[in-house]
């Protein structure tokens, strides 16, 4: 019996032009949660996909309980005790909870006919692990919340009875409460002897749930450590390879302008948000905090004309506006970075160059309607340099970029519009530490040029680190306003959860 339940030795995996894994080793003990951290492109996903049987390593060995194994397919890895919960949900939306969990392994009766009764019973048994036995196993997955879909995904992995469960960014779409619930469940499963590999960008989570951690950078293992003995700075320094002195960058010397850019008065949208009033001045970064479902994104979309408000008024500069469509908002000078860049922000199969100009093609169009390709290229090259978009060439498809680089392109497309007000919804979701600090620096620069920024974020350190002023929403209402230097985790959370009352200066 080996000391390790899973061990990878000197794994090498090469893709055309990149050495994704360069002799990476990893050891996992029985019953521990082992975190895997690193920036995008560090090789976390490749390692995970190799351990999950999707990629075959070029060199190196994998041992499960001391025995060397080779995985032919993800299915094969499952049978040998390793289950991967993917970040991109691998569920079939039209099918039921039960059929998703038992995909292609439905219990059968004679003639290979599906035994629905047994499948539903087995599903309820699994749901009971998360205290969800009241759910109907025949519910189609597309009627479930994202968090619940994530649970189904985890149950599917657990149903293989694995000895190792690999979780890739499991919390990216969960609320705080759901994250707590997930952690409770991880602890419960851990007590039963299950081991975890836990991949996350949220360093805070690692200190909460992990026992040990391995840091990857540029396809190599930088170090591993017992979580008890290290701190966040240690991780960041090892991940980035340089220490990030001030993640959130300093406010420039330029003071916040006198002029109000956006003034929102008594804005309401039925059953979504009510009676919202606030203003943002030139060069000001206003953080909009609150729990998921508090109506923040809806407020942002409403200002942007995507879901127009029912009543209330908006003033941009001196002009009253009432955008009914995004186009009207863009023309008025409002930019909006969506929280879901992949489905709403970028065209994944278009190139970087095409995406960068997608929302202001007019600027590159001649009088007779032809595009000025040279000008587009020049603009794209400038954007790449300004925003530090890491790419071999501008003809690269967006799909192939890391999350951080995609987000930088998205910022670029909106800055190109020349907005007076930029609404940024979860600007650094799924983005690694290095790209995060680049995006923060960019936001500072934009603010320095007088752009007003409304930053919607569920990431508290980001709200506290970036905001000149913090607004807090709760259940569709604006419940508090705190100057940036007085905001703390405690008072923002308390306002968002409704445990204290705040004040709003209208």
Partner 1 sequence: MTWLKNIVKQREFMIFMIVAVMFIFMTFASPYFFTIPNILAVMLGLSLEAIIAVAMVHLMVSGGFDMSVGSVVAFTGAATAMMLRSGMPVFLAVLLGLFIGAAIGTFNGFIVAKVGINAFVTTLSSLSLFRGLTLIVTHGQNITGLPKTFKLIGQAKVVGIQTPIIIAVVLLIIGDVLLRRSRFFRQSYYIGGNEQAARLSGIPVDRMKILAYMLTGLFAGISGIVMTARLGAASVTAGSGMELRVITAVIIGGASLNGGEGSILGAFLGTLLMALITNALTLLGVDVYWQTFVIGATLLLAVLIDTLSKRNR
Q: Are 51 and 84 in contact (CB under 8 A)?
A: yes
Question: What is the distance between the alpha carbons of residues 477 and 298, in angstroms, rounded to a whole number?
Answer: 12
Is residue 5 a contact residue for partner 1 (CB under 8 A)?
A: no
Identify the CA nearest to 40 among candidates 196, 224, 192, 169: 169
| DSSP states of 276-321 | EEEEEETT-EEEEEE-TTSSHHHHHHHHTTSS--SEEEEEETTEEE
Q: Are 331 and 420 in contact (CB under 8 A)?
A: no
Is residue 390 a contact residue for partner 1 (CB under 8 A)?
A: no
Alpha helices in 169-323 (DSSP H): 176-191, 203-209, 232-240, 296-303
Is residue 343 a contact residue for partner 1 (CB under 8 A)?
A: no
Identify which range of 110-118, 165-173, 286-294, 454-462 contacts partner 1 by CB under 8 A: 110-118
Give whichever of 94 and 372 is closer to partner 1, judged by the CB atom.
94
Give whichever of 94 and 311 is closer to partner 1, judged by the CB atom.
94
Give whichever of 78 and 355 is closer to partner 1, judged by the CB atom.
78
Question: What is the distance between the alpha carbons of residues 39 and 450, in angstroms, rounded to a whole number?
Answer: 31
Is residue 168 a contact residue for partner 1 (CB under 8 A)?
A: no
φ, ψ of residue 291 to 5 degrees: the values are -75, 160
Q: Minimal distance in Å, beta carbon 364 to partner 1? A: 31
Is residue 112 a contact residue for partner 1 (CB under 8 A)?
A: yes
Q: Are 435 and 406 in contact (CB under 8 A)?
A: no
Give whichever of 256 and 272 is closer to partner 1, judged by the CB atom.
272
Identify the CA nearest to 98 among candidates 62, 127, 73, 55: 127
Q: Are 107 and 114 in contact (CB under 8 A)?
A: yes
Q: Out of 2, 10, 14, 138, point to the residue binding partner 1 (CB under 8 A).
A: 138
Q: Minimal distance in Å, beta carbon 153 to partner 1? A: 10
Q: Out of 10, 25, 90, 391, point to the residue binding partner 1 (CB under 8 A).
A: 90
Q: Out of 104, 250, 366, 505, point to the residue binding partner 1 (CB under 8 A).
A: 104
Number of residues lying near partner 1 (CB under 8 A): 25
Identify which range of 58-66, 105-113, 421-429, 447-455 contacts partner 1 by CB under 8 A: 105-113
Is residue 108 a contact residue for partner 1 (CB under 8 A)?
A: yes
What character string, x for contact with partner 1 (CB under 8 A) and - otherwise, covers 41-80?
Answer: -------------x------------------xxx-----
Give whichever of 63 and 116 is closer to partner 1, judged by the CB atom.
116
How is residue 8 written in tokens?
């990878």
Identify the CA nearest to 82 among candidates 20, 8, 173: 8
Q: Out of 66, 93, 193, 395, point to the residue binding partner 1 (CB under 8 A).
A: 93
Q: Out of 18, 69, 114, 135, point to the residue binding partner 1 (CB under 8 A).
A: 114
Q: Are 173 and 179 in contact (CB under 8 A)?
A: no
Question: What is the distance between the alpha carbons of residues 97 and 125, in angstroms, rounded to a whole number?
Answer: 13
Question: What is the distance between the alpha carbons of residues 433 and 204, in angstroms, rounded to a whole number?
Answer: 13
Which residues sit at the interface with partner 1, rule CB under 8 A?
54, 73-75, 86, 88, 90-95, 99, 103-106, 108, 111-114, 136, 138, 143
């Amino acid at each position: 019996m080996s000391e390790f339940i899973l061990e990878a030795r000197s794994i090498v995996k090469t893709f055309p032009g990149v050495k994704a894994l360069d002799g990476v080793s990893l050891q996992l003990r029985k019953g521990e949660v082992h975190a895997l951290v690193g920036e995008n492109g560090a090789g976390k996903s490749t390692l995970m996909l190799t351990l999950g049987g999707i990629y075959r390593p070029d060199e190196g060995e994998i041992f499960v309980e001391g025995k060397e194994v080779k995985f032919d397919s993800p299915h094969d890895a499952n049978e040998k005790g390793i289950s991967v919960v993917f970040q991109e949900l691998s569920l079939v939306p039209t099918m039921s909870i039960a059929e998703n969990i038992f995909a292609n392994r439905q219990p059968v009766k004679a003639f290979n006919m599906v035994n629905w009764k047994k499948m539903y019973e087995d599903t309820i048994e699994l749901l009971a692990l998360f205290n969800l036995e009241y759910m109907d196993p025949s519910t189609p997955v597309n009627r479930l919340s994202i968090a619940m879909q994530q649970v189904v995904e985890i149950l599917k992995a657990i149903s293989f009875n694995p000895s190792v469960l690999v979780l890739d960014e499991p919390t990216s779409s969960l609320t705080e409460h759901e994250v707590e619930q997930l952690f409770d469940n991880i602890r419960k499963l851990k007590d039963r002897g299950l081991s975890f590999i836990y991949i996350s960008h949220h360093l805070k989570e690692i200190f909460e749930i992990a026992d040990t951690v391995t840091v990857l950078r540029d396809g190599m293992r930088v170090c591993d450590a017992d979580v008890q003995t290290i701190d966040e700075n240690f991780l960041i320094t090892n991940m980035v390879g340089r220490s990030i002195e001030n993640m959130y960058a300093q406010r420039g010397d330029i003071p916040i302008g006198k002029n109000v850019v956006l003034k929102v008065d008594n804005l309401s949208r039925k059953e979504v948000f009510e009676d919202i009033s606030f203003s943002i001045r030139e060069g000001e970064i206003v953080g909009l905090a609150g729990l998921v479902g508090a109506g923040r994104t809806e407020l942002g979309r409403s200002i942007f004309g995507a879901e127009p408000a029912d009543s209330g008024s908006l003033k941009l500069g001196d002009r009253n506006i009432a955008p009914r469509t995004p186009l009207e908002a863009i023309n008025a000078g409002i930019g909006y970075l969506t929280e879901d860049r992949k489905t709403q922000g970028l065209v994944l199969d278009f190139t970087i160059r095409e995406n960068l100009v997608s929302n202001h093609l007019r600027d590159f169009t001649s009088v007779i309607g032809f595009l000025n390709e040279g000008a587009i290229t020049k603009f794209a090259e400038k954007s790449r340099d300004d925003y530090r978009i890491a790419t071999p060439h501008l003809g690269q498809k967006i799909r192939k970029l890391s999350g951080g680089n995609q987000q930088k392109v998205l910022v670029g497309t909106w800055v190109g519009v020349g907005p007076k007000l930029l609404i940024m919804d979860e600007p650094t979701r799924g983005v690694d530490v290095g790209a995060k600090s680049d995006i923060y620096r960019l936001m500072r620069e934009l603010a320095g040029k007088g752009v007003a920024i409304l930053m919607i974020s569920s990431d508290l350190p980001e709200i506290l680190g970036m905001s000149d002023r913090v607004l807090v929403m709760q259940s569709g209402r604006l419940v508090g306003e705190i100057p940036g230097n007085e905001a703390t985790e405690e008072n923002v959370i308390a306002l968002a959860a409704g445990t204290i009352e705040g004040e709003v200066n209208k």
